Amino acid sequence: TRDKGAVSALLGRRQRNVGAASVLFYRHPLEMARASGCWMEATDGTRFLDFYNNVPSVGHCHPRVVAAISRQVATLNIHTRYLNRPTETYIEALKATLPDSLSNVVLACTGSEANDLAMRIAMSGTGGTGFVVTESAYHGNTWAVTDISPSALKQGAPPPHVCMVPAPGSANFGEDIAGGFQTAVEKAIVTLGERGHTPAALICDSIFSSDGVFADPPGFLAPAVETMQAAGGLFIADEVQPGFARSGDAFWGFDRHGVTPDMVTMGKPMANGYPMSGVATRPDLLARFCEGVGYFNTFGGNPVAAAAGLAVLEVIETEGLQANARKIGHHIMTRLGELVATDARVTAVRGAGLFIGLDLCRDGDPDLPDPELTSTVINGLRDRRVLIGAAGRYGHTLKIRPPLCLTRDEADFFVDALTDTLAAIPSA
């Protein structure tokens, strides 16, 4: 059709313009035209239910966020060297969700920048240079942060100042995830020492998204955090994925574990798609860092970002999105539990709120991950108008992460589409 030709011409332009750095979903990528709520519309008019995108977390093009951005961008949009009211108002609203000890917030534009800054604050605050991360972690794209993002490495291992620990799942630690993960962190600190590095920090995505989604049991992180802090290092909670009410149980992922981080980094859903990120930190740590180099970020926390961020906090509150994430997430988990019980290829479902992982394996054996099946399922779901991705070391975990305004009917649309997709794929 005419439209297919137009999309492939656009793909050609993309490849010529962006070259090897162009990363797109699907062999036949989609060209999107518009979006609202949990739905995106392609240029041929097909509407897709978005189960991948946790950036427009309160819903695509949410009218209240759009209005806040529009109003502010038409009034004042400046770099960060002047005082302005929206920015302080925003930071105060954000701080109300955080532990009292994290009373300084530095705003930036991307999660990568936030983690890069947190790493540097951790090094100046502890004198340490070593970092402990999970084996399939992703924390961003700067030089420093790529070093602590094993999932981004296409070959080789992270450098010596970075020590990996296994993902905190039962496959690695059996029943005692808290104890197993703590022991792994303890060993990693010893390994760093043997390589000449004292620890600066343990940094964890507190729902372990790229490792394959590991949320339970709540509290399992606490012993590992204590171990790192006792060794003189800090705990950085990377909330880019679970933050802003997604887990349903709490506003932040670390809250589910009953720990108080030394720093919290955040991004993606923070301003519903307007670039914004931040590091919440103890003032003593930030003061120490600023004795050395200081920090300036031209666009970080500009008034337009602040207006968007404030609107997001207000929408989460007024629309009860944390409770919705808990309720609809529970409904999805219950229905997916039936799939685990009836389809041998579906070996596990786990998660919290609207962040759920579903493992797909061969022969009903959790030790035989099946990334090919997962990819077939992802494409089958696209044919049934659901957009979704995969996670985990082997890429066999379906990553279920829709906007937080998802309705029960939309949840059922997804589970029905997944059930039909699996039914249409013959078991090997």
329 binds ligand PMP (CB under 6 A): no
CB of 74 to ligand PMP, least distance (A): 26
Which of the stretches 85-93, 151-159, 233-241, 301-309 binds ligand PMP when contact is defined by CB under 6 A?
233-241
Nearer residue to ligand PMP within complex by CB, 68 or 266: 266
The residues in 263-302 that bind ligand PMP, with binding defined as CB under 6 A, are 267
Candidates 132, 192, 240, 307: give the one binding ligand PMP (CB under 6 A): 240
Strand partners, 397: 359, 391
Per the CB < 8 A criterion, the answer to whether 238 and 270 are in contact is: no
Residue 93, classified by CB atoms within 10 Å of its CB into exposed (0-12), middle (13-18) or buried (19+), is: middle
54 makes contact with ligand PMP (CB under 6 A): no
**Bridge partner residues of 12 (DSSP):** none
Tell me which of 48, 90, 138, 220 binds ligand PMP, using CB under 6 A: 138
In the complex with ligand PMP, which residue's Cβ is closer, 138 or 251? 138
Nearer to ligand PMP, 158 or 380 (CB): 158
Per-residue exposure over 212-225, b if at least 16 CB sit within 10 Å of its own CB, e if not: bbbbeeeebbbbbb
Q: Which is nearer to ligand PMP, 267 or 369 (CB)?
A: 267
**By CB under 6 A, is residue 397 in contact with ligand PMP?**
no
Q: What are phi and psi of 102, to 5 degrees?
A: -95, 70
Nearest partner of 181 among 164, 197, 194, judged by Cα: 164
- Can residue 205 be called a binding residue for ligand PMP (CB under 6 A)? yes
Which range in 20-28, 111-119, 152-160, 307-315 contacts ligand PMP by CB under 6 A?
111-119
Number of helices followed by number of strands (H, E) in the chain: 13, 15
411: exposed, middle or buried (Cβ count in 10 Å: 0-12, 13-18, 19+): buried
Whether residue 325 contacts residue 404, with contact meaning beta carbons closer than 8 Å, is answered with yes
CA trace torsion 389, 394, 397, 398 (10° rounding): 20
Shortest Cβ 161–ligand PMP spacing (Å) = 19
Q: Does 253 bind ligand PMP (CB under 6 A)?
A: no
Nearer to ligand PMP, 133 or 346 (CB): 133
Q: Which is nearer to ligand PMP, 272 or 421 (CB)?
A: 272
Q: CA neighbours within 13 Å on the CB side: how many for 325?
A: 31
- 357 scored as a contact of ligand PMP (CB under 6 A): no
For 263, left (φ over 0), alpha (ψ -120 to 50), or beta? beta
Q: How does DSSP assign 222-238, residue by residue?
A: HHHHHHHHHTT-EEEEE
Instruction: Candidates 92-100, 106-114, 246-254, 416-424: pick the segment binding ligand PMP (CB under 6 A).
Output: 106-114
Give the nearest distance from C-beta 318 to ligand PMP in angstroms: 26
**Beta strands 199-205 and 162-165: pairing type?**
unpaired
Classified as helix, coil or strand, 285 is: helix
Q: Is 227 one of the binding residues for ligand PMP (CB under 6 A)?
A: no
Which of 162, 178, 237, 157 is closest to 204 using CA atoms?
Answer: 237
Count how many Cα atoms sit within 13 Å of the Cα of residue 51 in the half-sphere of its side chain. Answer: 28
Count of residues of this chain found to bind ligand PMP when the rule CB under 6 A is applied = 14
Binding flag, residue 112, ligand PMP (CB under 6 A): yes
Determine the angle formed by the axes of helices 371-383 and 408-424, rounding to 10 degrees: 120
- 124 near ligand PMP, judged by CB under 6 A: no
Among 147, 211, 238, 255, binds ligand PMP (CB under 6 A): 238
Among 110, 136, 260, 397, binds ligand PMP (CB under 6 A): 110
Is 136 a binding residue for ligand PMP by CB under 6 A? The answer is no
Contact 360, 347 (CB under 8 A): yes
Min dist. Cβ of residue 266 to ligand PMP (A): 9
CB nearer to ligand PMP: pick between 366 and 389 = 389
Three-class SS state of 269: helix
Minimum distance from CB of 2 to ligand PMP (Å)? 35
Shortest spacing between CB 138 and ligand PMP, in angstroms: 5
Give me the half-sphere count of Cα atoms (radius 13 Å) on the Cβ side of residue 409.
Answer: 2
Q: Can you tell me which of 53, 72, 87, 115 binds ligand PMP, judged by CB under 6 A?
A: 115
**Residue nearest to ligand PMP according to CB distances in the complex:** 111
Residues found near ligand PMP in the complex (CB under 6 A): 110-112, 115, 138-141, 205, 209, 238, 240-241, 267
